[in-house]
Copies of this chain bind each other. A is one copy, B any other.
Amino acid sequence: MTVFDEATAVLPAGDGRYDVKPDERFAIISGDGTTVGAVNGGVLMATVLRAVLDSSPHPHPVATSAHFLRVPRPEPAQVQVTWLKQGRTAATARATLIQDGAPVLETTVTTGRLGPAEGDAGLSWTGEPPRLPPIEECLGFGKAAKRTQFRGFAGQVDLRLDPATAGWLRGEPAGSPEMRGYFQLREDRDPDAYLLALAVDALPPVVFGLGAVGWSPTVELTWYMRAVPAPGVLRVAARCRHVSSGWFDEESEVWDSAGRLVAQSRQIARIGRGA
């Protein structure tokens, strides 16, 4: 069992309630070694999805919308799942991550069944895939980042950034809010719905490309699962359309090793305090 699977485990406690524990092994660590944002939001979404899928009539989280309300601490918490509809094509649950009696993460999840990639008899169409250089030419964080950052989230994921979007690592932001890279866990584990929930928000914030550094807290993120991912490394590409009033949007796409679009997300976040 990987650290990711341990960190996202849920324990049924009856009446749609699950005991969970936001895991400090996925904490966000700042450059000076202090913990910020406490626990990565993607891990929290994966945890909530495990609770939802435990009682879902359909296997795939087609649409997950998440509003991040409070900073989670690495201490016991609960997920409360309430089904609002259980239909033949789609079912929808409200699922709230609660800590010390206060909602930390409010999600609504619509589940359904995604067809096999092959043999889709219906209408099928996909836009252009992102262009990434070979993974060997991409930049890991091994040399660029300080050792302290390898505690927590950055110690669990193996991200390799397209050099064209990594200039900020050496203090030379590209001047456009884009980020592209390869994503996998450092442990050997194939992607699934839970890992996609992590992948959609795994890249550094797109505004780093504009020179805005610092932790950028996600306020809302919605992601769609579009296909069951093939084994192997994922490619993630993110762009932004608008930055103003201290808010920015970030849209990401996740493509699998077979070249299929497997997840899409969009989030709105606050610009980091260092900006």
Copies in the complex: 2
Chain B CB within 8 A of A162 CB: no
User: Number of A residues contacting the other chain (C-beta, 8 Å)?
Assistant: 58
Which residues of B sit under 8 angstroms from A245, Cβ to Cβ? 113-115, 120, 122, 226-227
Task: Determine the distance from Cα of A94 to Cα of B107 in the docked complex, in whole angstroms.
Answer: 10
Residues 191-228 of A at the B interface (beta carbon under 8 Å): 207, 210, 212, 219-220, 222, 224, 226-227
Inter-chain contacts of A23 with B (CB < 8 A) = none
The CA of A85 and the CA of B65, in the complex, are separated in Å by 17
Interface of A, secondary structure class, is strand
Determine if A219 and B268 form an interchain contact, defined as CB atoms under 8 angstroms apart.
no
In the bound complex, residues from chain B placing their C-beta under 8 Å from that of A13 are none
Interface members, chain A 215-266 (any B CB < 8 Å): 219-220, 222, 224, 226-227, 239-249, 251, 253, 261, 264, 266
Q: Which 8 A-B pairs have the closest CB atoms?
A: A65-B65, A63-B220, A115-B245, A222-B222, A125-B243, A69-B85, A127-B241, A242-B261
